[in-house]
Amino acid sequence: MSLRKLIAAFVAAVMCAAGTVRAWSPEPMSDEELLETVQRQTFRYFWDYAYPDNGMIRERSKGMTGEVLEPFESAFFLTPDGEKGLKGEYFNNMHFSGEPELVRVDEIIDMDWELGSPDPIINEDRFSIRWTGYIVFPEDGEYEVGLGSDDGSRLYIDETLIIDNWGDHAFQVVSGKFEAEAGKEYPLLLEYYENTGEASISLGLVHRHEPDGEIRETRTNSTVATGATGMGAMAIIVGVERDWITRQEAAERILSIVSFLEESDRYHGVFPHWLDAQTGETVKFSELDDGADTVETALLFQGLLAARAYFSEDNETENLIREKITKLWNEIEWDFFTRGENVLYWHWSPNHGWGADLHVSGWNECLILYILAAGAENHAIDPDVYHWGWARNGNMANGKEFHGIRLPLGPDYGGPLFFAHYTFLGVDPRGLSDRYADYWEQNVNHTLINRAHCIHNPNNYRGYGPQSWGLTASDSHGGYSAHSPANDLGTITPTAALASMPYTPEYSMEVLRHFYYNLGDKLWSPLGFIDAFSEHYNWYAGSHIGIDQGPIIIMIENHRTGLLWDIFMEIPEVQRGLRRLGFEGNF
């Protein structure tokens, strides 16, 4: 659609809707129907929102909820000198020299002030940039303009304050209306402050989100996550079993994923955390994390091995799936990542070697790594690596009570709830034990402690209670954080309670009903529930994250049918790993 037509359609929609938000009044349904609805909608993240060329799973979505921005084009903006763009200058802080650099103003306004040479003693809280110029609208009419920022911003058009979001440190889109004449140059002033070395703010035209509507993307996203892709493979299996897609469609998608992985960067057989979906090259996750990531690779192969077991028919596509996954699996050098010690390391980099220097030690989400590394036919780890490195010779035990509930393993209060989810997407904890714990008791009690904390609510956060609990890693009003009772920032993450459905079915259903029926217009989206929210801070994420969406669909399925548990626990390598490490159970 041309920009002219897009603006015309938008203006017509705004004028008809008069800025109103659609009322949320879903039809009542049974609990089973509600579970099916949530699974199917969440499935869209792994099927419709996956990278189109190869099916790899995107790291996250953006702008899927609430007020969504249609981006301006750079032609909308003129500097005071009449050039395309905007002019930037520093204010509120005289320790900067030079001018901030405007990287682009089409899809988002990207800024870079590393060229500004900030003084080391800068008071970061008073860091500000002012952008000036003109804005030109192509059509007559009333425009609803939106501004998204994660620290603070103000927008003036024609010397009128249109948007005032100064002082809000949570990313959100705020909108305001402006009546414009086509082609007229209106003075624009955009003030923004930040406290890091670079940032972006989004400026565009607002359209209202339809929770069950078409999936939209507001920016290019070619970063894909290896761990989330493993969860995607398991979600695709659920899609076949529930007749949302055909077996042939699913098999072709899995084959495209593993074919892409064959050509992607690996380091001693281990994949990086992120890949570029177009090139297969490593996308740096952090300064020292630009190579192998053993934990993400374990999460990837939890899904790929399940897919290898599920797609067992004798035809060309499924034969290739099994052949390619087995080849990738057998090329992983698990023992390399011990460095000759009795512990597995998380990272290795071709540029920094073992510079990240991070042991994978329990208790946390990483048990799956040790099970797979112990069960491999090639380059398997010795059981001592598990007992000394992971279990720390028993020192990962807790044994104390919190809210009257005993916690067998891990940090006080249990830590974020993804500890009880990631490994157990495939590993069935029912009746599973070793010398350190009964893993069903561990996960159930961890969940109950997390719930009890939210009900007790020592920080008096608004919105917490029996119908709204669940602390785990997610976005938040102050940035991404691993939320837990010991790190409670007032943010509830839907995946926490929903992915705990097998452990606390009645309590988790209570949360699901509340999220869907009472908060639905704020939480529900074309890709399932948004990543996180805080009623206390009136903040609702504009994002979804693959590793949060995955456990929702997979663990609800394990609650309903045990599907992924049944498939995964029959895999020979998984059974071998469990036995070698001293586990007992039904496998």
List pLDDT tens digits, range 390-412.
999 999 999 999 999 999 999 99
CA distance to 227, 306, 366, 373, per residue, from 298 (Å): 7, 12, 8, 8
Summarised one tens digit per residue, pLDDT across range 68-83 is 566 677 678 888 888 8
**Predicted pLDDT of residue 25:** 87
CATH homologous superfamily for 31-64+220-580?
Glycoside hydrolase 144 (GH144) (1.50.10.140)
Summarised one tens digit per residue, pLDDT across range 271-297 is 999 999 999 999 999 999 999 999 999
pLDDT class for 159, splitting at 50, 70, 90? Answer: very high
Tell whether the model's pLDDT for residue 149 goes beyond 60.
yes
**Predicted pLDDT of residue 123:** 44
Summarised one tens digit per residue, pLDDT across range 524-542 is 998 999 999 999 988 888 8
Tell whether the model's pLDDT for residue 108 goes beyond 70.
no
Tokens of 42: 């969440």
pLDDT class for 122, splitting at 50, 70, 90? Answer: very low
Name the residue type at position 97.
S
Query: CA-to-CA distance for 176 and 406, rounded, in angstroms?
Result: 52
Tokens of 470: 């669940």
**Predicted pLDDT of residue 8:** 36
CA distance to 91, 148, 152, 183, 195, per residue, from 125 (Å): 12, 19, 11, 38, 6
Length of the chain: 587
Tell whether the model's pLDDT for residue 522 goes beyond 70.
yes
Least confident of 208-212, 447-451, 537-541: 208-212
Is 521 buried (19+), middle (13-18) or exposed (0-12) by CB count in 10 A?
A: middle
Least confident of 34-48, 113-127, 233-247, 391-405: 113-127
In whole numbers, what is the pLDDT of the chain averaged over residues? 87
Tell whether the model's pLDDT for residue 104 goes beyond 70.
no
pLDDT class for 221, splitting at 50, 70, 90? Answer: low
> Is pLDDT larger for residue 538 or for residue 388?
388
pLDDT class for 202, splitting at 50, 70, 90? Answer: confident
Tell whether the model's pLDDT for residue 95 goes beyond 60.
no
pLDDT class for 5, splitting at 50, 70, 90? Answer: very low
Closest CA relative to residue 169, chosen from 546, 492, 534:
534
> Is pLDDT larger for residue 108 or for residue 431?
431
DSSP class of 95 = T
CA angle (133, 135, 137) in 5-degree steps: 170
Helix or strand or coil: residue 428? coil
**Predicted pLDDT of residue 60:** 87
The percent of residues above 90 in pLDDT, for the chain, comes to: 67
Strand locations in 118-266 (E) = 128-136, 141-149, 152-157, 160-164, 172-180, 185-193, 198-208, 223-225
Write b or e for each residue in 280-290: b if 16 or more Cβ atoms lie within 10 A of its Cβ, otherwise e.
Answer: bebbebeebbb
pLDDT class for 430, splitting at 50, 70, 90? Answer: very high
- Strand 67-71 to 198-208 pairing: antiparallel
**Predicted pLDDT of residue 93:** 58
CB atoms within 10 A of CB 497: 31
Q: Which residues contact 454 (CB under 8 A, 6 or more apart)?
A: 464, 465, 468, 469, 470, 471, 492
Average pLDDT over residues 364-383: 98
**Predicted pLDDT of residue 144:** 84
**Predicted pLDDT of residue 9:** 37
Tokens of 403: 């809210």
Tell whether the model's pLDDT for residue 428 goes beyond 80.
yes
**Predicted pLDDT of residue 19:** 36
Helix or strand or coil: residue 90? strand
> Is pLDDT larger for residue 221 or for residue 89?
89
Could you tell me if 190 and 134 are in contact, meaning their C-beta atoms sit under 8 angstroms apart? no
**Predicted pLDDT of residue 370:** 98
Tell whether the model's pLDDT for residue 165 goes beyond 80.
no
Tell whether the model's pLDDT for residue 197 goes beyond 60.
no
Architecture of domain 67-208: Sandwich (2.60)
**Could you state, in order of their start, the residue ranges of all structural domains in the chain?**
31-64+220-580, 67-208
Average pLDDT over residues 470-498: 94
**Predicted pLDDT of residue 6:** 36
Which residues partner with 555 through β-bridges? Answer: none
DSSP class of 390 = I
Tell whether the model's pLDDT for residue 117 goes beyond 60.
no
**Predicted pLDDT of residue 3:** 36
